[in-house]
Amino acid sequence: MLDKTNNDTVYAVNEKLDRHATTVGLLYGIAFIQSLPEERQEREMMLRMCAIVREAAGPKLAFTLWGVETLVGREIDLWPVDGGSGHGGDYTNEEFDHEAAVRAEIKQRKERFEQTGALSDAPPSDVIRFL
């Protein structure tokens, strides 16, 4: 039988996995919406989904985003026009900085993987394929 500490640990791990699965699912949904012709995109829903991912993904956003982008074959725009928290959907300087940091980390990860080809440097999607 699990004691309270073990139960709390199991709960914390499951909660983290659920949050990650939700983030990945939202990224696939965003990618799909953005692949539709503009007149068929559910823009307001997509903007909200982007905001949720940006807020909830935490420090693994770049790594997770890179993995999904690798599988869908294109960049996903988590900072689309009019999706910011500022007046009229404008992005704040902090939001612009966050976007720049995420894109810089993805670029750095891609370059490292291209140089090393190492499994430890692969996007999450490639790790799954190698196994």
| 82 compared with 11, residue with greater pLDDT | 82
Share of the chain above pLDDT 70, in %: 84
Residue among 100, 105, 58, 106 at smallest CA distance from 79: 100
pLDDT by residue (tens digit) across 95-123?
999 999 999 999 999 999 888 888 777 88
pTM above 0.75, yes or no: yes
| 121 compared with 23, residue with greater pLDDT | 23
**CA–CA gap between residue 114 and residue 109 (Å, rounded):** 9
Residue among 130, 11, 126 at smallest CA distance from 63: 126
Mean of the per-residue pLDDT values of the chain: 86
Encoded tokens for 122: 């692969």
